[in-house]
Amino acid sequence: MARADWNALATAQCGLITRAQLAELGIDRWAIRHRIATGRWVELTPVVIGTTTGPLTREQLMWLGVLHAGRDAVVGELTAAEVAGLRNWHRDHVSVLIDKDAKVGAGYEGVEFVKTRRPLPALRRPWGGLPVCRLEPAVLLFASRQRSVRTAEGVLAAVVQQRLTTPEDLLAWLERLQPIKGAARFRLSLTDIAGGAQSVGEIDVRRMCREFGLRLPDRQVRRRDASGRLRFTDCEWRLEDGRVLVLEVDGGFHMEVEHWEDDLARQRALTAPDRLVVRCTTRELRDQPDVVARDLRLLGVPAA
């Protein structure tokens, strides 16, 4: 058995290797069976052999998925974004994009196989190692499969806010991926993100203003609070009387006690004789945008 050959390949694949790869190296099924029987190797799937024992690491789980599926399979969706550095969007399973005609059988627990008609080699990152989908098509394809608009828009905002890509690159890939479900909404969201929106809440504010005829706000404005600390406000309008109206958008995590108290302190510190700070929740923007728009208009926000 050419140990150096199979060991080098398995090492490059996090200790995993397929039966087909072993056969190409001249290692027959009897040798494989012997090593499995003696506990040196382990059969993970009918296709993939582990040359080490013990629980699989996350990277090994990714390798298992692409090796098991074969035929140009790539790590995709949020798992590809995770590899690219996306934070706070973790999913326990790993996602693998596979050809629409690929057969994966029972698969493996913890691996989600997502079938696509798109040419997988065109989506793959251009360097070697673990086959991974490029970030932009990975998140756009994930977004297109979401029932929740907020989840879809949220991940697009996140990859830009975390400086993993740009709205322009996402828009370019959006055109390359046509037809894709949700394209019109994604195009509008990415235009908002390019204009400075860094969260779904800020996107919702912009959408509300367009729908109800309010002037679009300035966003992420640098302000010094009462203690001299630099802050960035969510949305601001200059009112006709010269004052500034600040709208802070609270997500669900803001309702936790420690965040709630921090937000109250932030509101006090930002408020000044010529600056009024008001707040709303992302739920209000989603479910009652007309009420928020009415209140802002009564506070003096000018028409578009």
In this predicted model, what pLDDT tens digit does every residue of 148-197 receive, in sequence order? Answer: 888 998 899 899 989 999 999 999 999 999 999 999 999 988 988 887 66
The mean of the pLDDT values for the chain is 89
Residue 200: pLDDT band (50, 70, 90) is: confident
In this predicted model, what pLDDT tens digit does every residue of 24-43 receive, in sequence order? Answer: 999 999 999 999 999 999 99
Q: Where are the domains of the chain?
A: 3-54, 59-194, 211-298
DSSP secondary structure, the chain, as one string: --HHHHHHHHHHTTTEEEHHHHHHTT--HHHHHHHHHTTSSEESSSSEEESS-SPPPHHHHHHHHHHHH-TT-EE-HHHHHHHHT--S---SSEEEEEETT---TT--TTEEEEEESS-HHHHB-SSSSS-BB-HHHHHHHHHHT-S-HHHHHHHHHHHHHTTSS-HHHHHHHHHHT-S-TTHHHHHHHHHHHHTT--SHHHHHHHHHHHHHTBPPPEEEEEEE-TTS-EEEEEEEEE-TTS-EEEEEEE-GGGGSHHHHHHHHHHHHHH-BTTEEEEEEEHHHHHH-HHHHHHHHHHTTPPB-
Check residue 302 and give its pLDDT.
94
Q: Of residues 75 and 246, which shows the higher confidence score?
A: 75
Q: At 85, list the tokens.
A: 């550095």
Task: For tokens 């509300």, name the residue.
Answer: 208
Question: Model's pTM, two decimal places?
Answer: 0.76
Residue 115 has pLDDT above 50, yes or no: yes
Given a contact cutoff of 8 angstroms between Cβ atoms, the answer to whether 198 and 279 are in contact is no
